[in-house]
Chain A
Amino acid sequence: MTQADRSQPDDSPLVRIRGLTTVLNGKTIFDALDMDIPRGRVTAIMGPSGTGKTTLLKHITGQMRADAGEILVGGRNVAGLSRDQLYKLREGIGYLFQNSALLTDFDVFENVAFPLRQHTRLPEELIRNLVLLKLQAVGLRGAARLMPNELSGGMARRVALARAIVFDPGLILYDEPFVGLDPVALNQVLKLIRTLNQTLGITSVLVAHELEAVKQVADHVFLIANGKVVAQGSPEAIAADGSPWTRQFFGGAADGPVPFQYPAGDYAQALGFPGVTK
């Protein structure tokens, strides 16, 4: 995940997923999934709840092992990496958690400085400047001495973003970045995602539900359901797609390929009317 990965806006995908299969607790999460994440662009992954979108992100970072298939990040197979190599890989990936995951014992400044202190031996002066730089980029330089429990949800997420970009990574993974934000904070985060991608060319992968927000920022959208990619394309193309999945997901129908009723036995029998068949 070097400078070279970012600076050339070439078209080879940064993340290549082939035949990914994972079974968790007897449930098939992914079933021979294929996906290419284009370099230098903003990609959104959407789908019904529980389809394993967060799990997909964890596969990319190597936190979870797939049962079959391969995941290539920057040309290297994640599954084949040793512990140290995996840690090296992760230094080039920024990850934004759904609940920000700031370390509660440290203030904002220390939280953003944490990766620097852990992995580098930079002098204090330099660390200070870097941290303030990143905080300024997310608009929170003045909040450097606040504790995480004093921040609002949107502010916490921006601090987490500052922490994620402290090493100037080539890839950023956003896990539900818009959940629980008021429109103002949502727009702030949107702006940041767009800016990071446009000015620094960082490949961004978004896992989100909010179609309107995704439309504003994503270049490419994947719709995942039942462990497979059921639709992909630009946001406009996918919204106009006529397949039953897209119609339910983007058209707003309550029932469709994702059923309303949780699988259950016969209703009449459950109510005690024997012998009545459908």
Chain B
Amino acid sequence: MTARKPQRRNMVGQVLAQIGSCGLFLLTLLAAVPRSMRHFRETTRQLWFVGAMSLTIIMTCGLFVGMVLMLQLYHVLSIFGGTSASGMVVALAVYRELGPVVTALLFAGRAGTSITAEIGLMRATDQIDAMEMMAVDPVAYVATPRFLAGLIAMPLLCCVFCAMAVFGGHLVGVTWLGIDNGTFWSNMTAVVDVRTDIVNGVLLKSLAFGAVVSLIAVFQGFTTPPTSEGVAYATTRTVVASSIAILALDFVLTAFLM
């Protein structure tokens, strides 16, 4: 009985310690940004792997999200005779919430885990040590380029996701379900505002999420025990911690921005 209590305290303490060291790691990352400008080619390379290689999954999921949303909305709105507003609702829902959040979750699953695994493996095979021995700062060479790449890639991926979602909504709504094309676009353009929906929703939110996911992925990669099972746990932790952080941050940002 008495043995359990310290364990529970330990877990909360552990989580807090992790969050704290993650925050401190962010400072290390940012401090290394000027030094990582020397490795700009590495940042470009990471942008390719982290961003461009995620395009397939992002575009596919965006298309399906838009299609499903339109399908669901049509059936509900047709009860009130308000199907002409379905395009507007799809656009608003995707720009403000679904776009940034779903893109971030997919990003965490695809790019976040690959970053964590790659860095963890590099530590396990002494590559990080080798870099230190060759007088190359591993944070500036390995961590910061990946962090910056994630930061840049996320908003771009989110825009692509939203565009595909609108296209998917149009495909289902206009082509399949027969909503008038002009009504679809005119209702949408009347309500969607560039500042509150696109800049605040799509760009700002996805930037914040990109920072969080990249930070967690890089942090987990750098701090796991450099063994194969350590790496396996680290990738799981990346996804879990990223997902929780994304949704919590989403609530905070929505409260502040909307």
CB of A10 to closest CB in B, whole Å: 26
Check if A95 sits within 8 Å of B130, measured CB to CB: yes
B76 within 8 A of A: no
Is A63 at the interface (CB under 8 A from chain B)? yes
Q: Are A101 and B125 in contact (CB under 8 A)?
A: yes
Say yes or no for B180: interface residue by CB 8 A criterion: no
**Number of A residues contacting the other chain (C-beta, 8 Å)?**
21
* Chain B residue at minimum C-beta to C-beta distance from A89: B135
What is the chain A residue whose CB lies nearest that of B137? A87
Classify the secondary structure of B's interface with A: helix
CB-CB under 8 A from A98, the residues of chain B are 126
A61 an interface residue at 8 Å Cβ cutoff? yes
- A114–B134 CB distance below 8 A: yes
The residues in A between 103 and 127 inclusive whose CB is less than 8 angstroms from any CB of B are 103-104, 114-115, 118-119
**B129 contacts chain A at the CB level, 8 A cutoff:** yes
B133 proximal to A (CB < 8 A): yes
Is A97 a contact partner of B126 (Cβ separation < 8 A)?
A: yes
Cβ A101 vs Cβ B136 within 8 A: no
Q: Tell me the minimal C-beta distance from A113 to chain B in angstroms.
A: 11
Which residues of B sit under 8 angstroms from A61, Cβ to Cβ? 133
Within 8 A of B (CB), among A155-178: 163
Cβ of B193 < 8 Å from any Cβ of A? no
B125→A104 contact, CB < 8 A: yes
B21 interface residue per 8 A CB criterion: no
What's the minimum C-beta distance from B120 to chain A, rounded to whole angstroms?
13
Q: Which residues of B contact A103 (CB under 8 A)?
A: 122, 127, 130
Whether B135 contacts A90 by the Cβ 8 Å rule is yes
- A34 an interface residue at 8 Å Cβ cutoff? no
State the CA gap A116–B44 with chains docked (Å). 20
Interface residues of B (CB under 8 A from A): 121-122, 125-127, 129-130, 132-136, 141
Can you list 9 A-B pairs, Cβ within 8 angstroms, ordered by A? Answer: A95-B133, A97-B126, A98-B126, A99-B126, A101-B127, A103-B130, A104-B125, A118-B135, A118-B136
